[in-house]
Amino acid sequence: MDFLYTYETLKLEFPLVGPEEAKFVILGVPFDGTTSFKPGARFGPTLIRHATLNLESYILDYDVDIAELPIADIGDVAVVAGDPRKTADRVRETVEELKRVNPSAIPILLGGEHSQTLGAVEALKPASYVVFDAHLDLRESYEDNPYNHACVARRIGELGVREAMFGIRSGTREEVEYAEREGIAWVHARDYDFDAFVELVKSLPEPVYLSVDIDAFDLSLVPSTGTPEAGGLKFWDIVEAVEWLVENKRVAGFDIMEVAGSGLGDVTALTAAKLLFYFIGAIGKKML
């Protein structure tokens, strides 16, 4: 199947199926047009796919081999250089197209900057948005653009989607006051633990869209990301949360965003690739 706005790129090394019969459908979004400190997230989708070559497809602690699962990779979205809204429109149209041919597919976005999550959420219309991020992303506008990656959670909340945020350690007073007014729940990275996650997420309506801005992890795990922040979460913090979420909530879509880097084998891409395998494996465990 051909999609209007996608092109072929590096693939995962194990047998892939077509998007029509897949459970998991990977879509890269190589866009970093509004990143404000370090560029390079446009290379994220390719770096993550390449990093998967380093990993065993067998998840030891699950006794699941994700190579046996129906995974499709439909390539990357052809971005509109410098325009986060038009690019997110292409993401939205691609995910809508996918859901028309395969309503049970779980889209997995590989970014690319966080602004592009908006396109997938607009297409999937989840009831809730659960996000791991160093940043609140609740700015009304940033650098004269309301579709800047620093605004994505505000645009999503404006769609009427309930929001819960974890790993937060960067934002403005205006964003904190906005979250208070709008009833947006968030947990500071220094206060994060598994119980805090479950307490906030257990009552959220389904389906849930799960977004991981890679900068939620500690800087040591993700040195190559657009707006790095010290004091982040541990790898198993987020894996444990993913496991609880896929066990207890219907997940409409997933993404791993803000992965940057300039070289193959970059640490940040390896962290992202391992998380990708755990997400697929956690759902796959229920399927097998």
CA distances from 153 to 74, 86, 179, 184, 250 (A): 26, 18, 10, 10, 20
CA distance 161 to 153: 10
Interface characters, 93-132, with Mn ion (x: CB under 5 A) = ---------------------x------------------
Smallest distance, Å, CB 193 to ligand AG3?
23
Nearer to ligand AG3 by Cβ, of 149 and 274: the residue is 149
CA distance 234 to 97: 36
Contact status: 137 vs ligand AG3 (CB under 6 A): yes
Number of amino acids touching Mn ion (CB under 5 A): 7
User: Which is nearest to 254 in space by CA: 197, 214, 218, 194?
Assistant: 214
Contact status: 150 vs ligand AG3 (CB under 6 A): yes
Contact status: 94 vs ligand AG3 (CB under 6 A): no
As separate numbers, helices (DSSP H) first and strands (DSSP E) second, the chain gives 8, 11
Q: Which of 42, 149, 162, 274 binds ligand AG3 (CB under 6 A)?
A: 149
CA distance 282 to 285: 5
**Strand segments (E) across 146-217:** 162-168, 185-188, 208-213
Ligand-binding annotation for 2, yes or no, is no
Q: Which does 73 bind (CB under 5 to 8 A by kind): ligand AG3, Mn ion, none?
A: none
Q: Which of 49, 50, 90, 135 binds ligand AG3 (CB under 6 A)?
A: 135
Q: What is the largest CA-CA distance in the chain?
A: 49
Please list every residue from 186 through 215 that binds ligand AG3, using CB under 6 A. none
CA distance 259 to 261: 7
Smallest distance, Å, CB 134 to ligand AG3?
7
CA distance 288 to 126: 26
Nearer to ligand AG3 by Cβ, of 92 and 135: the residue is 135
CA distance 111 to 259: 6
Nearer to ligand AG3 by Cβ, of 66 and 214: the residue is 214
- Applying CB under 5 A, the span of 66-74, 118-126, 194-202, 206-214 interacting with Mn ion comes to 206-214
Q: Which residues are annotated as a binding site for Mn(2+)?
A: 114, 133, 135, 137, 213, 215
Rule CB under 5 A: which residues touch Mn ion?
Answer: 114, 133-135, 137, 213, 215
Rule CB under 6 A: which residues touch ligand AG3?
Answer: 36, 135, 137, 142, 149-150, 227
